[in-house]
Amino acid sequence: MTKQVQQLDRVIIRFAGDSGDGMQLTGDRFTAETASFGNDLSTLPNFPAEIRAPAGTLPGVSSFQLHFADHDILTPGDAPNVLVAMNPAALKANLSDLPRGADIIANADEFTKRNLQKVGYDTNPLEDESLAEWRLHSVPLTSLTVKALEEFDISKKDAERAKNMFALGLLSWLYGRPVEATIKFIETKFAKKPEIAKSNVTAFNAGYNYGETTEAFSVSYEIKPAPLSAGVYRNISGNQALALGLVAASVQSKLPLFLGSYPITPASDILHELSKHKRFGIRTFQAEDEIAGVGAALGAAFGGALGVTTTSGPGVALKAETVGLAVTTELPLIVVDVQRAGPSTGMPTKTEQTDLLMALFGRNGESPVPVIAPATPSDCFDAAVEAARIAIKYRTPVMLLSDGYLANGSEPWKVPSQAELPDISVPYTTEPNGDDGETFLPFKRDAETLARPWAIPGTPGLEHRIGGIEKADGTGNISYDPNNHDLMVRLRQAKIDGIDVPDVEVDDPDGDARVLVLGWGSTYGPIAAAIRRVRRGGGKVAQAHIRHLNPFPKNIGEVLKSYDKVLLPEINLGQLALLLRAKFLVDIISYNRVRGLPFKAEELAGVIQEVIDSE
């Protein structure tokens, strides 16, 4: 039987199941196949904070959404075209996101009376016509898998567990994905358990063949590769990119990297990734708490290392005092905050942009800190290098604001070569800087950058003491002199205000838009996708995205004032809007949702259109 092949320009698939069903792995593998096929893609994992919530319940549902296309795309997609539901809970938790006419591939075996009851279904939705609006493919994934694995010497439980590979095989056939890499992946993953490896490969192949032969699926789809610019690509998540960016920063600054960190969701993967790269001289220190993590990083910075600490929401609160010490001792330090829903514990696996004011002002005293926010998962790499550049050049702590959406989301990344990366090295101070040629003045500043010298222990003749008590300008000796304090407060502020930050770029193709949509951080993708929609509909709108939140780009005031209306969507209650209103007296229109989820492009397109129409 020859099956029909239908051309599509893009597809959004959501894999959903119990947190023990292996949906993240399934999604990761489908993503890898898709990346190697050459589609542009963007992913969004969504999982509970509980490692194994009670099986079959709504809180235990874990999902992975993948958007892939034959053209460049900006987000993981608003609503899936295909939902793979491994159990009733997965169906129920995701159905409201599913537009009419979308495909549902449901594991019929799991729709038992007991499982249906667990999530409040009185009748089986696969049988009661309640899903008539959608294209339902009810497939007994578990029993087909078990049957395919009959001849293997494995337990029934192990056979059942391979059902995610059966599903992956089926979807791989449905969308014409290359399968070799997945087979190789399974063989490597279970290298020590050959029987499990073989059975998983068999389940995967069985799923693929099932799609090809069964009449349940009459059509398969083709999505042509996207025309990306020439180069080597890899699919990368924000946390991975950030970790690699830190390695690159260490190499390009010629400073040994010291990471002090305490495990916290969703930042821990940066610690895991950096721990693998000891060959680069990277020391990773899992501290007893958040405070010790940043303290050790600062201690290492005093010793001449590139000190880094990584954390999320509540961890930043704990680090505040030490960041203040880094501000006043003027030592380089990178503080990575992978923002998550707060306050307090909040929703650890959900995303938010609510730490901006905390990053800027969350310390006692006048305590200015540069703040940088990456816009996309792969941009986390460049943001890390930029954070290091500023920290080292200006001897200051830098806050790097990623978030849960960037951290776990992924996209293709055109891999840079080392030769393309900037040299961000700054030599240590090794000679006295006093006018007499003998004295060392640890707080005598560089005339241009206002940075103080960085003289590290082991340097003869430059022995000096620093600390949290106010220091006399120049000598750094303890000083309670009122005028000196006023001077030092202003000098520390002036140093941060004077950081060389590139101008913000405005995307205004025709140059006649009257509405500017401004954003920062991870809202870049949804805003840009929304703007494309609006422009396709004939709307005139400009876009600007701020990467440096302190200091702001020099041209930002001018940009804001050159539009009639400025719309600023944020996943908070208007934190950047507050700053811009105060600083530039511009009547920003805020759009805020704080649902722990990224914006949807469609939602933002509607908001933008409303602002344009109100002109």
Partner 1 sequence: MSESLNGKGLALVPKAEGKQTLKDFKSDQEVRWCPGCGDYAILAAVQSFMPELGIKRENTVFVSGIGCSSRFPYYMNTYGFHSIHGRAPAIATGLAASRPDLSVWVITGDGDALSIGGNHLIHALRRNVNLNILLFNNRIYGLTKGQYSPTSEIGKVTKSTPMGSLDKPFNPISLAVGAEAGFVARTIDSDRKHLHSVLREAAAHQGTSLVEIYQNCNIFNDNAFEDLKDPEKRDVITLRLEHGQPIANATQAVKLAPTGGLEVVARDSIAESEILVHDVHNPDPSLAFALSRLDEPAFQHVPIGVFRSVDRPSYDSLMSEQLDLAVAQRGHGDLDELLQGGDTWKIN
Assign 3-class secondary structure to 34-61: HHHHCCEEEEEEECCCCCCCCCCCHHHE
Under the binding rule (CB under 8 A), the answer on residue 415 touching partner 1 is yes
Burial of 561 per CB tally in 10 Å (0-12, 13-18, 19+) = exposed
In this chain, which of 108, 141, 297, 612 binds partner 1, going by CB under 8 A?
Answer: 297
**Sheet bearing 548-550, strands edge to edge:** 283-286, 257-261, 306-311, 333-339, 397-403, 371-372, 548-550
> What single-letter amino acid sits at 373?
A
Cα separation, 461 vs 68, in Å, equals 60
Give one DSSP letter per residue of 279-345, joined into a string: GGT-EEEE-SSHHHHHHHHHHHHHTT-EEEEEE-HHHHHHHHHHHHHHHHHT--EEEEEEE-B-STT
Helix (H, G, I), strand (E, B) or coil at 251: helix
- In the complex with partner 1, the residue whose CB is nearer, 15 or 258, is 258
Binding segment for partner 1 (CB under 8 A), chosen from 44-52, 160-168, 284-292, 352-360, is 284-292
Among the listed ranges 317-325, 367-375, 570-578, 601-609, the one in contact with partner 1 (CB under 8 A) is: 317-325
Give the one residue of 59, 99, 194, 281 binding partner 1; rule: CB under 8 A: 281
Backbone angles phi, psi at 105, to 5 degrees: -110, 110
**Is residue 304 near partner 1 by the rule CB under 8 A?**
yes
Q: Does 289 bind partner 1 (CB under 8 A)?
A: yes
Establish if 364 lies at the interface with partner 1 (CB under 8 A).
no
Does the protein bind partner 1 through residue 98 (CB under 8 A)?
A: no
Residue in 395, 342, 351 with CA at minimum distance from that of residue 370: 395
Half-sphere exposure of residue 340: CA atoms within 13 angstroms, side-chain side: 26
Q: What angle do CA 174, 178, 180 make, to 5 degrees?
A: 130
In the complex with partner 1, the residue whose CB is nearer, 256 or 574, is 256
Q: Is 322 in the site for partner 1 (CB under 8 A)?
A: yes
Residue 283 binds partner 1, judged by CB under 8 A: yes
Amino acid at 419: A
Cβ proximity of 287 and 307 under 8 Å: no
By beta-carbon proximity to partner 1, the closer residue of 124 and 475 is 475
Q: Which two tokens stand for residue 445?
A: 């500043």
The yes or no reply on residue 535 touching partner 1 (CB under 8 A) is no
Minimum distance of partner 1 from residue 467's CB (angstroms): 3
Nearest CB to partner 1, comparing residues 135 and 189? 189
Size of the site for partner 1 (CB under 8 A): 69
- Count of residues in the chain: 615
Query: 551: cis peptide before it, omega within 30°?
Result: yes
Instruction: Sketch the per residue contact string, 192 through 231, with partner 1: x for CB under 8 A, - otherwise.
Output: ------------------------------------xxxx
Amino acid letter, residue 284? T
Among 189, 224, 277, 581, binds partner 1 (CB under 8 A): 277
**Cβ 381 to partner 1 shortest distance, Å:** 9
User: What span, in angstroms and rounded, lies between the C-alpha atoms of 355 and 360?
Assistant: 9
Among residues 73, 244, 566, 580, which is the contact residue for partner 1, using CB under 8 A?
244
∠ at Cα 394 (393, 397), nearest 5°? 110
Nearest to 91 by CA among 67, 114, 113, 108: 108
H or E stretch at 410: strand 410-414
Min dist CB 362 to partner 1, Å, is 16
Span of 82-90, 282-290, 589-597, 602-610 interacting with partner 1 by CB under 8 A: 282-290
Q: Which of 141, 154, 325, 400 binds partner 1 (CB under 8 A)?
A: 325
| Contact residue for partner 1 among 15, 47, 166, 285 (CB under 8 A) | 285
Please pick, from the candidates 124, 280, 555, 609, the single residue that binds partner 1 as defined by CB under 8 A: 280
Window 341-360: contact mask with partner 1 (x via CB under 8 A): --------------------
Q: Please tell me whether residue 305 binds partner 1 under the rule CB under 8 A.
A: yes
The nearest distance, CB 571 to partner 1, in angstroms, is 30
Q: Exactly one of 36, 220, 484, 609 binds partner 1 (CB under 8 A); which one?
A: 36
Smallest distance, partner 1 to C-beta of residue 463, A: 5
Q: CA-to-CA distance for 592 and 79, rounded, in angstroms? A: 20
User: Closest CB to partner 1 among 35 and 356?
Assistant: 35
431 binds partner 1 (CB under 8 A): no
Min. distance of Cβ 400 from partner 1 in angstroms?
A: 19
Dist CA 380 CA 551 (whole Å)? 19
Q: Does residue number 188 form part of the binding site for partner 1 (CB under 8 A)?
A: no
| 3-class SS of residue 359 | helix
Site for partner 1 in 15-34 (CB under 8 A): 32
- Sole binder of partner 1 in the list 15, 64, 121, 233 (CB under 8 A): 233
CA atoms within 13 A on the CB side of 315: 30
The interface region with partner 1, picked from 241-249, 389-397, 536-544, 552-560 by CB under 8 A, is 241-249
- Interacting residues with partner 1 between 450 and 489 (CB under 8 A): 457-469, 477-478
Binding part of the chain for partner 1, among 250-258, 352-360, 422-430, 569-577 by CB under 8 A, reads 250-258
- Name the minimum Å distance from CB 333 to partner 1: 11
Residue 489 CA, distance from chain mean position: 34
Q: What is the DSSP string of 514-544?
A: SEEEEEEGGGHHHHHHHHHHHHHTT---EEE
Among 269, 242, 524, 234, smallest CA distance to 376 is for 524
Q: Token pair 């000891």 is at which residue?
A: 278
x-or-dash pattern for partner 1, window 365-394, by CB under 8 A?
A: ------------------------------
β-strands 333-339, 397-403: how paired? parallel
**Smaller CB separation from partner 1, 37 or 173:** 37
Give the interface with partner 1 as residue ranges (CB under 8 A): 32, 35-36, 38, 181, 228-235, 244, 247-248, 251, 256, 258, 260, 277-283, 285, 287-289, 291-292, 295-305, 307, 321-322, 325, 329, 415-418, 421, 457-469, 477-478
